[in-house]
Structure 1
């Protein structure tokens, strides 16, 4: 009796391998919860005790979200190897709302937005045909560039800081990249697959030897800690204060859709975008809703971990489930949390820059499937990339705009995604209808004498917009 072989994404691996590969995922994404909490703490002037509590909560919620995405119980999660973390843009929005209206209102905004995800999801699913491959690919490229920039700041510091461009930090960041490349070149098999983790560890050892990292503080704390719910007190709900996060949620859902497609491509699994993207978004919403009760910003899927899968070739979703368990353990074990938080930012940034570079390549690969011989597609992608990359490459260009508008305009991912989607709708959905002649309309209505306009004949199949966007079909390809 023959058995259908398991898809690599559904394969179990030996426990030791899953723990090892899962730890690599954790090390690569660890900078996100750490930097997110540090940013919130510094901006709001939080106490050390409250900051440690938020860091523990961030790790635990990241672990719970990773388990939901990887295991996909009750149609919550796409059963793909995802790791979740506090998002970059949501952290900025959380801080902005907290500074203007107070931390309890910021927490209330996270909860309201999480509920809005669930309410708006059926409507968003119907709009997915307006997010074909060219829109999602453009968005992934912008996301990758933005993430490379954020990671680079972990190496160099922010312009204007006293230690910006410190040679020692630059050395550590470049060393982490160099170690990873060397291990990937020298080794084969399992050792090559964990090259990112080995580079990360080697960079940390170098930092300790140079006196740039002090890991002794891990022994100065107790053994067990537990995240405390409602660290900012009872949440306060203000619909007006929540508007920036609510508007951002559409861009976030579009980005999550793109990540679901990319993840499916990386692991070679057929993706039904109308089925799997809502499952991924649903898990993000429920994780964020729970996180709001523990004071964390919105939780999103990690782009760098998709890059890890591509670099290592390890596609099993049970590896990221193991990463989820490790993250939960880190959140509850105080010495581990202290140890992770002590890893130098330049080392984390060096590893992350390399992985995010792979994310950019994934976006480029998607764009190659977007019928670039169609000049309209080339124009759409070029315009969307320009508009999306401008606020990333020229920070502060919208400084003179109102605060709420600035929050959205300064998000290159949101601007790029909206621009690509609008232009795609104009060129491939609205324009064919506007320029259809009366005879073509009669021919289309008559099944006995179908004709094609010269414009339709010259356009690649599936891009005219009259039968739905090509993304739904493209997304099902491995």
Structure 2
């Protein structure tokens, strides 16, 4: 990937002997960029905990303790992925969050059994991550740019669909399509775009944060913010050890979460590769993807003892890295420190006062970038070869079906429906299977004349330069 244009904003501060990912920026820049990452991801931990609290009828005190735990372990996970310890953590600009699907599975497991069993399922999932990654890594050679690019497109669209509901609300509810929410999202997007267009230098790199702040200020004029409602509460929040009691380890009850973890590993693969492409660092998937997954597993295990759902490295900040052009992993490490501080303070509750539609508008910009990056990766694939065309077509098409039609597999057993219902997992499975069928079981088709006056053999040679497939 050619990075000159994408990373022009980093150029003035680069040193020849230090990769931009490893550069420690001045604190005056680290903190604002770190806050920008937090503002974009803030809705996920808050909404996850409030959803758990509402569904399981938790007390306000217990919900507050779980919220503190989620922020603290999000911060610790972000630090672990950004800084790295031995073979744990990939040393790329990543943040960690409670998984959206993992939150739903935590709730359904608790409702089907009890909360202690749901906590046990989270811990078992973390152990499963660490044990299975040694096997999973052996199939990574079957994830070429053709497969990963298709997965990244699906990841971006999936995230847009999930966070788009922050703007529209849930269908079949009175609030669905509320005009004020649509306006707030539109204003947020417009402010973000105008900042990208007219702000200079470092300020332009903070356009996403400015867009979110601008949308929030606009919302305040309509009385759409809710900061006052979240002022009440403890001045200091402290994560509680074993808040639900000692975990119950029931492997059968944990099966849906264990099956989901396979899809999570596939998603971690795509996120690792695309993040590496964005920052311009060469990665070895068989070495670096396990580092991501091990960190997810360790944080999920420890976090489970403090009541959190399974924690996963998030793709939410990948679009921010690309949009801002700031590649330093110390930015997300700083974000991790701030998240830990937020977890012990009442700030987490106050941030919940930002209108969901404003966060949704910001998310649309950031997550759409992820899909575009997947398209950019696919642009290096030779689609004059029918096998590549069919592989990409079905990997995206079948991957998008459960995204566009949620619940389409609901008549299947729960564990199977959980796996098939993951668009990313279906995209990965379809892409790998078809890539094996077309590119590993027979001789590649010979180039043919397209009738367009272009020598496809030359195109193939140009598209298959070794540098084009460096990841």
TM norm structure 2: 0.90
CA distance in structure 1 between the aligned counterparts of 2:437 and 2:226, rounded to whole angstroms = 56
**Partner residue in 2 for 1:416:** 427
Structure 1 unaligned residues grouped into runs of 5+: 433-452, 464-469
- Matching residue within 330, 339, 342 for 2:350: 339
CA distance in structure 1 between the aligned counterparts of 2:439 and 2:467, rounded to whole angstroms = 16
**Partner residue in 2 for 1:226:** 238
Deviation of the 1:220 alpha carbon: 2.9
**Partner residue in 1 for 2:227:** 215
Report which stretch shifted further, 79-88 or 417-426.
Answer: 417-426
- Matching residue within 181, 193, 196 for 1:181: 193
Deviation of the 1:183 alpha carbon: 1.2
**Partner residue in 2 for 1:26:** 38
User: How many matched pairs?
Assistant: 445
The change in CA–CA distance for 1:403 and 1:125 in structure 2 (over 3 A counts) is closer
Q: 1:308-354 CA distances to partner (integer Å, 9 max, x unpaired)?
A: 010010000001101001100110012x1121122111111110111
Report which stretch shifted further, 417-426 or 11-20.
Answer: 417-426
Q: 1:245-296 CA distances to partner (integer Å, 9 max, x unpaired)?
A: 2122222112111111111110011111111111111111111111111111
What does residue range 451-470 of structure 1 map to in structure 2 within 5 Å? 455=445
- Matching residue within 386, 391, 395 for 1:384: 395
- Matching residue within 366, 380, 404 for 1:393: 404
CA distance in structure 1 between the aligned counterparts of 2:153 and 2:276, rounded to whole angstroms = 17
The change in CA–CA distance for 1:126 and 1:299 in structure 2 (over 3 A counts) is same
**Partner residue in 1 for 2:208:** 196
Contact residue 137 and residue 363 of structure 1 kept, 8 A? yes
Contact residue 93 and residue 407 of structure 1 kept, 8 A? no
The change in CA–CA distance for 1:119 and 1:454 in structure 2 (over 3 A counts) is closer
Report which stretch shifted further, 59-68 or 296-305.
Answer: 296-305
**Partner residue in 2 for 1:242:** 254
Are positions 1:350 and 2:350 aligned together?
A: no
Q: 1:357-400 CA distances to partner (integer Å, 9 max, x unpaired)?
A: 00110111122223322210110111121111111112232233
CA distance in structure 2 between the aligned counterparts of 1:298 and 1:363, rounded to whole angstroms = 26
Contact residue 227 and residue 352 of structure 2 kept, 8 A? no
Are positions 1:322 and 2:372 aligned together?
A: no
Contact residue 69 and residue 303 of structure 2 kept, 8 A? yes
**Partner residue in 2 for 1:55:** 67
- Matching residue within 96, 101, 112 for 1:84: 96
Contact residue 46 and residue 348 of structure 2 kept, 8 A? no
Contact residue 270 and residue 475 of structure 1 kept, 8 A? no
Are positions 1:256 and 2:293 aligned together?
A: no
Report which stretch shifted further, 387-396 or 357-366.
Answer: 387-396
Q: Secondary structure at the match of 2:286?
A: helix
Contact residue 266 and residue 424 of structure 2 kept, 8 A? no
Deviation of the 1:476 alpha carbon: 3.6
Deviation of the 1:409 alpha carbon: 2.1
CA distance in structure 1 between the aligned counterparts of 2:137 and 2:123, rounded to whole angstroms = 21
Contact residue 272 and residue 476 of structure 1 kept, 8 A? no
Q: 1:191-250 CA distances to partner (integer Å, 9 max, x unpaired)?
A: 100000011111111222211113234543332211112122111111111111212222
Deviation of the 1:4 alpha carbon: 5.1
- Matching residue within 312, 315, 325 for 1:313: 325
**Partner residue in 2 for 1:71:** 83
Deviation of the 1:454 alpha carbon: 7.0
Deviation of the 1:408 alpha carbon: 2.1
Contact residue 60 and residue 329 of structure 1 kept, 8 A? yes
**Partner residue in 1 for 2:301:** 289
Report which stretch shifted further, 393-402 or 282-291.
Answer: 393-402
CA distance in structure 1 between the aligned counterparts of 2:345 and 2:312, rounded to whole angstroms = 24
Q: Secondary structure at the match of 1:304?
A: coil
Deviation of the 1:460 alpha carbon: 9.2
**Partner residue in 2 for 1:372:** 383
RMSD: 2.1
**Partner residue in 2 for 1:134:** 146
CA distance in structure 1 between the aligned counterparts of 2:176 and 2:51, rounded to whole angstroms = 17
**Partner residue in 2 for 1:444:** none
Contact residue 217 and residue 338 of structure 1 kept, 8 A? no
CA distance in structure 2 between the aligned counterparts of 1:193 and 1:263, rounded to whole angstroms = 17
CA distance in structure 1 between the aligned counterparts of 2:88 and 2:47, rounded to whole angstroms = 28
**Partner residue in 1 for 2:4:** none
Q: Secondary structure at the match of 1:59?
A: helix
CA distance in structure 2 between the aligned counterparts of 1:404 and 1:269, rounded to whole angstroms = 37
**Partner residue in 2 for 1:439:** none
Contact residue 256 and residue 301 of structure 1 kept, 8 A? yes
**Partner residue in 1 for 2:24:** 12
Contact residue 263 and residue 424 of structure 2 kept, 8 A? yes
CA distance in structure 1 between the aligned counterparts of 2:41 and 2:251, rounded to whole angstroms = 32
Deviation of the 1:406 alpha carbon: 2.1
The change in CA–CA distance for 1:95 and 1:454 in structure 2 (over 3 A counts) is closer
Deviation of the 1:475 alpha carbon: 6.1
CA distance in structure 2 between the aligned counterparts of 1:92 and 1:425, rounded to whole angstroms = 33
**Partner residue in 1 for 2:137:** 125
